[in-house]
Amino acid sequence: MEDNTIVCRCSDLTLQDVRDLINKGYTSFDELKRISRIGMGPCQGRTCMQIVLRELSIATGKPISELSPGIFRPPVKPIKLGEIARHALEGGEVNHD
């Protein structure tokens, strides 16, 4: 029944998927992210993180305040590589020091 409870809309993970991974020993947001891509889609964790942290809290017995939301890296929204390259060339700031 929980198979159609969606936690991660970006990578299509259900609540059961998340619970199974936690039971396998992935007990931090970053570990779950690396194994399942949760939090790496267009929403960048803005939809799923609170639900995942609550599941981690229940499974580990730690309050959410003791859990880490993982590392937040730029960019927070997709940007084309070509655009970054263009900016670097035209901006004249290719700097390898």
Residues of this chain that bind another protein (CB under 8 A): 1-2, 4-7, 9, 15, 44, 46-51, 64-65, 67, 69, 71-77, 79-80, 83-84, 86-87, 91, 93
Q: Where are the beta strands (DSSP E) in the chain?
A: 6-8, 13-14
Q: Minimum CB separation from another protein for residue 73, in Å? A: 7
User: How do beta strands 13-14 and 6-8 pair?
Assistant: antiparallel
Least Cβ distance, residue 24 to another protein (angstroms): 20
Q: What CA–CA distance (Å, rounded) separates 38 from 18?
A: 9
Q: What letter represents residue 70's amino acid?
A: G
Least separation, in Å, of the C-beta of 61 and another protein? Answer: 16
- CA 14-42-77 angle, to 5 degrees, is 155
Q: Which is nearer to another protein, 80 or 96 (CB)?
A: 80
Nearer to another protein, 27 or 44 (CB): 44
